[in-house]
Structures are given as structure tokens and as C-alpha cells.
Amino acid sequence: MIDFELDPELVALRDRVTAFVRDVAIPAEARDTGTHGVDDELRAELQAAARTAGVFAPQVPREWGGLGLDMRSVAVVFEAAGYSVLGPHALNCAAPDEGNMHLLHVVATAEQKERFLAPLAAGDVRSCFAMTEPAPGAGSDPSMLATTATRVDGGWRIDGRKWFITGAEDAAFTICMALAPEGATMFLIDADNPGWHVERVVDSLDRGFAGGHAEVVFDGCVVGDEAVLGAVGEGFRYAQVRLAPARLTHCMRWLGAAQRALDVALDRASEREAFGSKLGELGMVQERIAESVIDIETSRLLIWRCAWALDRGEPARHESSIAKAHVGEAVWRVVDRAVQICGALGVSGDAPLAALLREVRPFRIYDGPTETHRWAIARRTLRQRERAVGEQNGSLAAAGGSGAAGSAAAGGSGA
């Protein structure tokens, strides 16, 4: 049973995060002028303030310095953090680091956790996750993985090209997915390894991710056996460990951005007069406001439903696909409506809406395009229905057989 009542301690934490974002993160947005996301100096300053406020690393287990929240609690806190693009960076719960922390906590050895997870959880370094490749390599279809891992004396040689790798510039390490003879395998690779480098940072619509999105090259990148994350050949299984929660936490953060966009539109509709009345008194504006409220509420419920499944130890692939497909589109609609309500102000730099619009549009593609998730949802639903019909027909056949045998026995007895 899903309980929608929030624990008082969680409410208090959410309120602290809300106040931190309002008083610290949003005022700092004017200083966030880098081309590819928040710079390290501002990021460190914000994280120090988050520690002081007691809101740092809410998702990180307590043994690694975090608050140790479960996914349902994370959903509440991440939404509050996402009200500003800088909020997740300040709390050290931004992508891709947040997803990598989870993966390392679940899969890494004790030695790997000390070397990679500890500094990442502390906010001392950034990381990246190198799986996506330029066509015809792995994109929405990970089975097209082209980067190879070949056994050499004492370890592995990795060769390939990755594309749109978020946070790669100035990352301390990467988790690279490569195809070994045994199957897809993950490797932990330090940034100072001479066998890989950032070739360029891609010019993209959004700019909210620290380090931007880069094209990276692995050319004779040699690592030892200790660099293997988990077991050789289990990379796709580990990818599911990371991807279902990571795509859901993306939804949480962007839902906070959608709420901010709606708040900006509500304030404008309450103040701006046109055609003899406030904008908020016009039926067409009210319709857009109502649709946005519905989009936010349904998104929140789908996120909480998936978080509940993850907390129960379920894979939640189906639930996370539903949440991602809906929230990605809903957030875009909310921000777009807010821009429309605010008119010229909405597309100007005098309000945060234009920047939010640039940030949320790519989310309909990141972590799997909406179309890919809808395809996966439909396939799973068709298979579920086929199984249900098969089981139902089997039960009916068994019941019919039992009934015939029973009647024959009864008839024989009566004779």
C-alpha cells in the first residue's frame, strides 16, 4: 500500500531544501554564466552552503556521508532541489554523478568504493558514464554497442568512440561500457589514463550540466583487471541497476523546474492586465493553468509509484518507462504554457522561463526518447496480456476437464 502522508522529518527536510534553493541557489543563478554548466568554483561554494544547511547528498547512504533517504523520500527532496537548475549541483544529487553513486554503491568492490565512490559522494570530484556512441553505435538500442574491450597481459585494452557523454570534461573518472568477448562489461577508468581523452564538447541546446556533453575517444586505453566494475559480461544487467533509478531521479528534478515555471506564470497572470481584466481571469489562460496543474500532479504520482516499487526491491523498468515517457512530455508542456502565458517576458532573459525551456526540451530525448519508452511500454503490455489470456485459457481447460470427469464419476455412481 502506498502511503501519501509524508513523515514530519521528511517535511522538515523538504522545507529546508526549499528555503535553501530560494535563499542560496536562485540568487546564485546570475553568477552561473559558464558555457557548459556550473563551474567548479561556484559548485564548491554551493555545496559548502548545502552542508551547512544540512541538505547535502540526501540520496547517499549514511556510511558515505549522506542522509540515506529511500527513493520515496528522495522524490520529495529532489523535486524541491530541482526548483533551480543549481539546486541539484549544490546538493550533490545532479546527473550523471547521482546515478554513478548509486551504481558504485550497489556493484563496486570495497576497494573501488574507497577509490571512486568516497570522493564522488563527498563532492570532491565529478564523473561521467560513457555508454552512448555515434551512429551506428549504441544509442537508444544498447545492443549496438561498438566500443570493444580486448584482453591483454594483466588487463584490458579498450577502443572506441563515445558521444554526448555528460560531464566528461574535467571528470575525475568515467564508467565506460565496452563489448568484451564475454559480453558488455563496465570499466572504471581514471581521467589521467593516456588512452582516453575528450575530443570536443558538443554544442547543445541545454547548458545546465557541469562539463557539458562531450565526444570522447578510447584509443588503446589499457586498464588492469581491477578496473572491471562488477563481473565481466554483466554490463547490461548493471546498466539496469543504474538506468531505472537514474531516469526516475531526472523526472524528480525536472518536476521541480516545471513547478517553478508554473509559479512564474501564476504570478504573471495575477499581475498583468489585458483586455480589461487580469490575465488570470481569462478563460484561455485558466485552461492552460489547469492543464499544467494536472500535468504536475499526475507526474508526481507516477514518480512516487515508481519510487515505491524501487523501495520494494522491484526492477521497476515498466514503471520507470511510464514515468519517463509521461513526465518528459508533461514538464515540456508546463514550461511551454508558462512561456505562452508570459508572452514576451517568457522568451526574454528577464525571467527564468527561456532558460528552463532550453533545459527541459532535451529531457524528452535523454534517458531514452519518449517514443522508445512508449514502444517498450506497449511491448510489455502486449506480452502481459498474452500471458494473462494463456493462463486464463489454461485454467478454463483444466476446470472443464475436471468438471467432465466429475460428471462421469457421478453418473457412474448413480447407475
Kindly list the structural domains of the chain, giving each domain's residue range(s) and its CATH number in brackets, ordered by start.
8-94 (1.10.540.10), 127-233 (2.40.110.10), 236-375 (1.20.140.10)
Q: What is the pLDDT of residue 412?
A: 36
Of the pLDDT bands very low, low, confident and very high (cuts 50, 70, 90), residue 410 is: very low
> What residues have CB less than 8 Å from 292, skipping those under 6 apart?
258, 262, 265, 333, 334, 337, 338
Q: What is the pLDDT of residue 401?
A: 57
Query: Helix count (H) and strand count (E) of the chain?
Result: 14, 10
Q: What distance, in Å, lies between the first and last C-alpha atoms of the chain?
A: 54
d(CA 346, CA 340): 7
The string of pLDDT tens digits covering residues 128-143 is 999 999 999 998 888 8
pLDDT exceeds 80 at position 258: yes
Q: What is the pLDDT of residue 80?
A: 98
Percent of the chain exceeding pLDDT 90 equals 88
Cβ count near 278 (within 10 Å): 15
Tell me the whole-structure pTM to 2 decimals. Answer: 0.92
d(CA 207, CA 366): 14
The type of residue at 17 is: V
Q: What is the pLDDT of residue 393?
A: 87
The string of pLDDT tens digits covering residues 279-316 is 999 999 999 999 999 999 999 999 999 999 999 999 99
Q: Please, what is the Cα angle at 267 between 262 and 270, to 5 degrees?
A: 120
Answer for the pair 360, 257: CB distance below 8 angstroms, yes or no: yes
d(CA 112, CA 103): 12
pLDDT exceeds 90 at position 340: yes
d(CA 296, CA 288): 12
Answer for the pair 234, 182: CB distance below 8 angstroms, yes or no: no
Cβ count near 192 (within 10 Å): 8
Where do we find the cell 546498466? 239
Of the pLDDT bands very low, low, confident and very high (cuts 50, 70, 90), residue 1 is: low
